[in-house]
Amino acid sequence: MSKGISLHIGLNRVDPAHYEGWSGPLTACENDAHDMAAIAKTAGYESRKLLTAEATLRNVRNAFDAAAEALNEGDIFLVSYSGHGGRLPDRNNDEFDDGQDETWCLFDGQMIDDEIYAVLGTFKKGVRVVVFSDSCHSGTVVRELGGLPVDVLLPERAVVGVKAMPPMVAFKTYDANRKQYNMRLAAEETRDAWQRISASVLLFAACQDSQTALDGTFNGLFTGTLLRTWNRGAFSGGYRAFFDAIARRSPESHMPNYFKTGSPFPDFDGMRPFEI
């Protein structure tokens, strides 16, 4: 019988001690984690939540490591992240498009995309991994949304914030922690780490790289759309159909992304979402 482990990360703020005085307040990220964990619990997963101050680099890495150790071929690891996305300068020359690494802004520091790929590379072949990332890696809302307030562009949505680290905060945070980040950014074990993933990974991202993910009153825009589409399990279809249905409900300014990496798993696209 297959086993399912899930991890749900939600940060309504970060530690200003690391982020040069910026706490990045958000409203609905912890609730996103609660709601995604509820889906996982109903599906029979062994679940864990890491909320705000608990969502540290060490705790997140330990949770990934524990899952990688416990899961075998045919098992599944479900991850949801809701919080700010950030950027750091590429130091191992594996980001050919924009020369920047994308990050999850955890409470005490940023987890670099190369590090996420590296830890996913420790999962055994035949393990399925599904990641829902409700965050962005873009700049300011003014640049991404043409300078108009988000409530003007999306009047039917209860939008209360943007899940993007402001560019000046990104610069100051990197500059103040340059030695630490440069060592991690240039680490040989993380270079092209995505090419060494043996598990089969599906990623649902809240928006395109050039767009901004939006926070809300009760859920982030992406997570809220996902929950309405899932409709307490009434949705029928596989992962690809689930993504397509979410995309149809999403505004063009907030278009989700779907991609796969690692070793193929037979009909992963067609499997019922969240099913162990």
CATH number, domain of 108, equals 3.40.50.1460
On average, the pLDDT of the chain sits at: 88
In a domain, 270, yes or no: no
Q: Does 130 score more than 60 pLDDT?
A: yes
Range of the domain at 128: 4-86+104-167+191-262
Beta-sheet pairing, 128-134 with 76-82? parallel
> How high is the pLDDT of residue 192?
80
φ, ψ of residue 47 to 5 degrees: the values are -115, 155
In a domain, 14, yes or no: yes
In a domain, 267, yes or no: no
In a domain, 135, yes or no: yes
Q: Does 4 score more than 60 pLDDT?
A: yes
How large is the average pLDDT for residues 128-153? 53
In a domain, 178, yes or no: no
In a domain, 202, yes or no: yes
Q: Does 111 score more than 50 pLDDT?
A: yes
In a domain, 93, yes or no: no
Share of the chain above pLDDT 70, in %: 88
Query: What total number of domains does the chain contain?
Result: 1
Asked if residues 127 and 71 have their Cβ atoms less than 8 Å apart, the reply is: yes
Q: Does 36 score more than 60 pLDDT?
A: yes
CA separation for the pair 159, 222 (Å, rounded) = 11
Q: Does 150 score more than 50 pLDDT?
A: no
56-108: per-residue pLDDT in tens? 999 999 999 999 999 999 999 999 999 999 989 976 555 445 558 889 999 99
Least confident range from 18-32, 73-87, 89-103, 114-128: namely 89-103
> How high is the pLDDT of residue 161?
81
| 184 vs 138, higher pLDDT | 184
Q: What separation in angstroms does the CA of 139 have from each of 16, 20, 74, 154? A: 19, 18, 39, 19
Confidence of residue 181 (pLDDT cuts 50, 70, 90): very high
Of 206, 233, 205, 234, the closest CA to residue 220 belongs to 206
In a domain, 244, yes or no: yes
Confidence of residue 137 (pLDDT cuts 50, 70, 90): low
| 23 vs 191, higher pLDDT | 23
